Chains A and B, each alone.
Chain A
Amino acid sequence: MTATTPTDPPATGRERQGEILLEARGISKRFGEVLANDTVSLTLRAGEIHALLGENGAGKSTLVKILYGALEPNGGTLHWQGREVTIASPAEARQLGIGMVFQHFSLFEALTVAENIALALPKGTGMRELSARIREVSRDYGLTLDPEAIVADLPVGIRQRIEIVRCLLQEPRLIIMDEPTSVLTPQEADQLFLTLERLTSEGCAILYISHRLEEVKRICHHATVMRHGKVIAECDPAQETAASLARMMVGSAVHDLDRGPRPEAGAVRLELRGLSAPADGPFSVAIDNVDLKVRGGEIVAIAGIAGNGQGELFNLLSGERLSAPDAVQIDGQSAGRSSITARRRAGAAFVPEERLGHGAVPGLRLSENIVLTRHSTGDGLVRGGFVDRDRAGQLEQRLKNNFDVRMSHDDAEARALSGGNLQKFVIGRELDRRPGVLVVNQPTWGVDAGAAALIRQELIDLSRQGSAVLVISQDLDEIFEIADRIAVISRGRMSDAEPAEAMTRERIGLLMGGMDEGQGGATHAA
C-alpha cells in the first residue's frame, strides 16, 4: 500500500487501521454522450484521509454520488469490507456506514437544526432525546450547535457543522466530504482538521474532495487524481508539491501569472464614502459605513466568507440598489443614485457572481447577451431603437477569439456553455470595453484552473493599463495571487484595505471572523 499510515493511532476504533473499507472497481457512468466516469477504481482504508483531486468536470462528483448511492453506475462493482454490494440509495449507503457532507448544503432552511438531523436518522428517536445527543456529540467534537435554532438564521460555517454532526450521529465508518473548507475561515478550517484527525484516530475513513492543494498536502494521507473521467495518478500528497499536484490535475503546467511591475499609484477612480444600506430582506445583510478608494492601476480585493454582505455591496456598486448620492463615486462623479446604465456610461463595468441568470440570460444567444450590457456604451449596437445584429455578431466573434470561449456551435445560447466558458464570456464582455472601473464578484468561482489563470491575467492586465479593479472573492489563494491591496468584509462591515504584502492568512481569518474590525492594528478581540 502506498498510503502513509497516520502516526500511532489509539486502537479504539472498530476497524483496524488500514483495513480496506470500501473498494470501487472499474466504475463507469455515462450521461448521454459524455463518459463522466471511465473504469474508475478507488480503495479507501480505515484511519485514512484520502484526497480525491481533479478539475471541475473531471468526474469527482459523479464518482462520489455513486459511492453515496445517489447515482447508479453503468458498470463496475463496489465492495464494502470485501463483500460486493449495490448501493441503490443514500439510505442504503447510510446503513452500510457511509456518510456525506455536501458542498452545497443539503439542509432544509425552514427547519430547526434538530429537525434537519432527525430527517437523516432512522425513525424512532424522540426530539428531546435527539437534542441531547446533538449537544453531546457537538461538544465532544468541538462543533458547538444549538439544536433549536432555525437553519435559515445560521451562517454557513455553522451550517456545515450541522452537516458534520448529522453525519457523526449516524456513526459512519466512511465520511465523504465535498470541498468542506470552501466556506470556512482559516481558523474554522483548523478546527475542522482537528475533528478529522480525531475521527481517523477512531478508525473512520475520510474521502476528502478539495481544490486547495496546500490543505490536501497538510492533512491527507493518500490522493487519487482524476482527469476527464479517469483516474490518472495516485500519490502521497505529502511527497508532492502543490505545483506537481496541479500539473497532475490539469495535465499540463499551469502558467504563473505575470503581474508586471506595480505602477505608480494613479488617481482615485472608484470611491466609496460611508456607504450604508439597510438589509433588504430577512436573509440579507446590512452594509454598514463602508469606505474604500480604488486607484487606477491597482487591484483591490475584498475577502470574506460567503453571505457577509458581498452580494449586497456589489448591488450597491452596480446600481441594482441605490444609495446616498455621494456614497459611490466613479471617476470623481457622484453615482450613488445613478442607474446601472448611467454607471456603465460613466466608464464602469460590473460582473455579478451568478453568471447564469444574473450575468447572462440563459435562453439568449451570446450576441444578444452582449447587447444587454453594452447597448448604450458607444459600441453602436443599437441604432434608432433597432439592434444591429451584424455588429453584435462581430463583437461576439471577437470575444470568442480573444477570451478563448468554447462552445459547440456558433453564437450559442448562454445556457449551452459550460460554467468556465460562460464565465470567460461574461468577464470578457466587460473587459473588452476596457472599462475605467471594473467590479467583479467571485471572478473564478467554479472555473477550472486553466480558465481561472486566463481570467486572473486579464484582470491584472486591465489594471496595469490604468483601470481601477475591485475583486470580491472568497478564494484567498486567488486574492494573494492578484491583489495589490486587501480588505475584508464581515457582517456588512469592511476593514481598511491594506497592502497585500502586509496581510497574512491568519490576520485575514481573524478579520473574516469579525474580530479586529475597523481600523488597522493587531488588537485581537479576546
Chain B
Amino acid sequence: MGAFEAILLTVITAATPLLLAAIGELVVERSGVLNLGVEGMMILGAVMGFAAAQATGSPYVGVLCAMLAGMVLALLFGFLTIHLVANQVATGLALTLLGLGLAGMIGEAFVGRPGVKLQAIEIPVLSDLPVVGRALFGQDLVVYVSLALVAAVSYVLFRTRAGLIIRAVGDNHGSAHALGVSVRKVRYLAVLFGGACAGLAGGYLSLAYTPQWVEGMTAGRGWIALALVVFATWRPLRVLAGAYLFGAVGILQFHAQAHGVGVPSQLLAALPYAATIAVLVIISRNRILTRINTPACLGKPFVPDR
C-alpha cells in the first residue's frame, strides 16, 4: 500500500462520521427543525453500538443498536419540540448534554476493553484497481452506506413528492398545513431519520474509526456536522464535499505536524475548520440561491390553529 493510498484511506475514515451526521441533520433542517443535539445522539450511538457489538460479537448488531440509540434521543427531542413546542435551540443543547452524560455513565464499564471492528468488504474487480482501488472499494459497509445516503437524500429531496413535501414543510409550515400536509408527522420522521444518521455516525467511531470506547470520543464532530450543513447551504452534494474536504485537510495537517513543518501545531489544527468554511462560503456566495435553499421555517415553532 502506497503512501497516497494510505492517506486516501484515512481521509475517507475521517470524513465518514461527519458526512453521516451532517446528511441526517440536513434532512431534519430541510423540514424546518433545528436539532442541535447531534453531538449527544452521536455519542450515545457510539457507546450503545460498542456495547451491543461486545455483547453479541457482531459489529452489525452494534451498528443497528447505534442507530436505534440515536433514534431514541431524537424521539425525545421530537416529542419535546414538535409535540410540546419547546424551544428547539434549548432542547437541542440539553439533548447534547444528556447524551454525553448518559454515554459516560453507560460506557464506564467499557473503558479500555477491546472492541469489535467492522470488517472491510472488498468489491471484486474494482478493489484491484491501482492506487485508488483499496481505498475506495475496500471499505466497510458504513462507508458505502454513507455515500449511498448522499445520493438517496439528494434524489428524494429534489426528485420525489416526499422530498417536495419535506422542503415545503421547511419553507412554510403554515401553508403546508393549509394544504392538508401533516407538518408534525413529516417533522417527526425527519427528526428520527436525523437521529438514526447521527447514531450511525457515532457507531462508526466506536466500531471502525477506533474500535474501542473512550469517553467523549465524538470530540465535537457533531458540532462540525451542524456547521457543515449551514455552510453547505442545505445541499447534499456540498455536504459531501465539505465533509471530505474537512477530513482531507485534517489528515494533511496531521502529516504536516508529523513531518515537523515550522508552523505552530495549534494553527495547523485549526486549518481544517478554516479551509472548510472558506471553500463552502465561496461556493455558496450566490445570495439568492442561498436564500432559496435556506429553510425559511428553520427553528420556528409550529402550532396548528384548530
Q: Mark A residues whose CB is within 8 Å of B.
A: 69-72, 89-92, 94, 102, 105-111, 115, 118-120, 123, 150, 152, 281-283
Q: Which residues of A contact B161 (CB under 8 A)?
A: 118, 123
User: Are A70 and B178 closer than 8 Å at their CB atoms?
Assistant: yes
Residue of B nearest to A282 (CB): B288
User: Are B180 and A89 closer than 8 Å at their CB atoms?
Assistant: yes
Q: Assuming A102-B178, A111-B164, A119-B164, is B305 touching A71 (CB within 8 A)?
A: yes
User: Are B291 and A282 closer than 8 Å at their CB atoms?
Assistant: yes
Q: Assuming A94-B180, A102-B178, A119-B181, is B296 touching A110 (CB within 8 A)?
A: yes
Contact check: which of A119, A123, A281 meets B168 at CB < 8 Å?
A119
A226 CB → nearest B CB, Å: 20
**Residue B171 lies at the interface, judged by CB distance under 8 Å to chain A:** yes
CA distance A102 to B294 in the complex (A): 24
User: Are B180 and A115 closer than 8 Å at their CB atoms?
Assistant: no
User: Are A106 and B168 closer than 8 Å at their CB atoms?
Assistant: no
User: Are B292 and A108 closer than 8 Å at their CB atoms?
Assistant: no
A-B contact pairs, 18 of them (CB 8 A): A70-B178, A89-B180, A90-B178, A90-B180, A91-B179, A92-B180, A102-B178, A105-B175, A106-B178, A107-B175, A108-B167, A108-B175, A109-B171, A111-B171, A118-B164, A119-B168, A119-B181, A123-B161
A69 CB → nearest B CB, Å: 8
CA distance A150 to B293 in the complex (A): 12
Residue of A nearest to B182 (CB): A89
* Binary contact track B199-233/A, C-beta < 8 Å → 1, others 0: 00000000000000000000000000000000000
Among B269-294, those with CB < 8 Å from A are 287-288, 291-294
User: Are A110 and B287 closer than 8 Å at their CB atoms?
Assistant: no
Among B137-181, those with CB < 8 Å from A are 161, 164-165, 167-168, 171-172, 174-176, 178-181
Q: Assuming A71-B305, A152-B291, A282-B287, is B168 touching A111 (CB within 8 A)?
A: yes
B111 CB → nearest A CB, Å: 47
Residue of B nearest to A91 (CB): B180
User: Are B175 and A110 closer than 8 Å at their CB atoms?
Assistant: no
Residue of B nearest to A150 (CB): B292
Q: Which residues of A contact B259 (CB under 8 A)?
A: none
Residue of B nearest to A90 (CB): B180
CA distance A108 to B178 in the complex (A): 12
User: Are A108 and B291 closer than 8 Å at their CB atoms?
Assistant: no
A30 CB → nearest B CB, Å: 13
**Residue B185 lies at the interface, judged by CB distance under 8 Å to chain A:** no
User: Are B174 and A111 closer than 8 Å at their CB atoms?
Assistant: no
CA distance A102 to B174 in the complex (A): 12
User: Are A111 and B167 closer than 8 Å at their CB atoms?
Assistant: yes
CA distance A115 to B292 in the complex (A): 14
Q: Which of B176, B180, B181, B292 has the most CB of A within 10 A?
A: B180
The number of residue pairs between A and B whose CB atoms lie closer than 8 Å in the complex comes to 67
Q: Which residues of A contact B179 (CB under 8 A)?
A: 90-91, 106, 119-120
Q: Which label, helix, strand, loop or mixed, suits the secondary structure of the B interface?
A: helix
Q: Which residues of B contact A150 (CB under 8 A)?
A: 292
User: Are B175 and A115 closer than 8 Å at their CB atoms?
Assistant: no
User: Are B296 and A109 closer than 8 Å at their CB atoms?
Assistant: yes
B246 CB → nearest A CB, Å: 27
Q: Mark B residues whose CB is within 8 Å of A.
A: 161, 164-165, 167-168, 171-172, 174-176, 178-181, 287-288, 291-296, 305-306
Question: 17 other contacts beyond A94-B180, A108-B175, with CB at 8 A cut-off?
Answer: A70-B306, A106-B174, A106-B179, A108-B168, A108-B171, A108-B176, A110-B167, A110-B294, A110-B295, A111-B167, A115-B164, A119-B164, A123-B161, A152-B291, A152-B292, A281-B287, A282-B287
B162 CB → nearest A CB, Å: 10
User: Are A72 and B306 closer than 8 Å at their CB atoms?
Assistant: yes
Q: Which residues of A contact B168 (CB under 8 A)?
A: 108, 111, 115, 119
Q: Which residues of A contact B175 (CB under 8 A)?
A: 105-108
Q: Which residues of A contact B167 (CB under 8 A)?
A: 108, 110-111
Q: Which residues of B contact A282 (CB under 8 A)?
A: 287-288, 291
CA distance A91 to B179 in the complex (A): 7
Q: Which residues of A contact B287 (CB under 8 A)?
A: 281-282
CA distance A89 to B179 in the complex (A): 9
CA distance A282 to B287 in the complex (A): 7
Q: Which residues of B contact A105 (CB under 8 A)?
A: 175
Residue of A nearest to B174 (CB): A106
CA distance A102 to B172 in the complex (A): 14
User: Are A71 and B306 closer than 8 Å at their CB atoms?
Assistant: yes
Residue of A nearest to B164 (CB): A115
Q: Assuming A71-B306, A120-B179, A282-B287, is B164 touching A110 (CB within 8 A)?
A: no
Residue of B nearest to A70 (CB): B178
Residue of B nearest to A108 (CB): B171
CA distance A108 to B296 in the complex (A): 9
CA distance A283 to B288 in the complex (A): 8
Q: Which residues of B contact A89 (CB under 8 A)?
A: 180
CA distance A105 to B172 in the complex (A): 11
Residue of A nearest to B181 (CB): A119
User: Are B172 and A106 closer than 8 Å at their CB atoms?
Assistant: yes
Q: Which residues of A contact B176 (CB under 8 A)?
A: 108, 119
Residue of B nearest to A105 (CB): B175
Residue of A nearest to B295 (CB): A110
CA distance A90 to B306 in the complex (A): 12
User: Are A110 and B292 closer than 8 Å at their CB atoms?
Assistant: yes
Q: Which residues of B contact A111 (CB under 8 A)?
A: 164, 167-168, 171
A72 CB → nearest B CB, Å: 6
Q: Which residues of B contact A283 (CB under 8 A)?
A: 291
Would you list the 8 A-B pairs with minimal beta carbon distance, nearest first?
A: A91-B180, A106-B175, A282-B288, A108-B171, A90-B180, A110-B171, A110-B292, A106-B178
B89 CB → nearest A CB, Å: 19
CA distance A115 to B306 in the complex (A): 27
CA distance A70 to B175 in the complex (A): 11
Residue of A nearest to B159 (CB): A127
Q: Which residues of A contact B164 (CB under 8 A)?
A: 111, 115, 118-119
A110 CB → nearest B CB, Å: 5
A367 CB → nearest B CB, Å: 30
A131 CB → nearest B CB, Å: 14
Q: Which of A70, A72, A123 has the most CB of B within 10 A?
A: A70
Q: Which residues of A contact B181 (CB under 8 A)?
A: 119
Q: Which residues of B contact A72 (CB under 8 A)?
A: 306
Q: Which residues of B contact A71 (CB under 8 A)?
A: 305-306
Q: Which residues of A contact B305 (CB under 8 A)?
A: 70-71
Q: Which of B179, B293, B295 has the most CB of A within 10 A?
A: B179
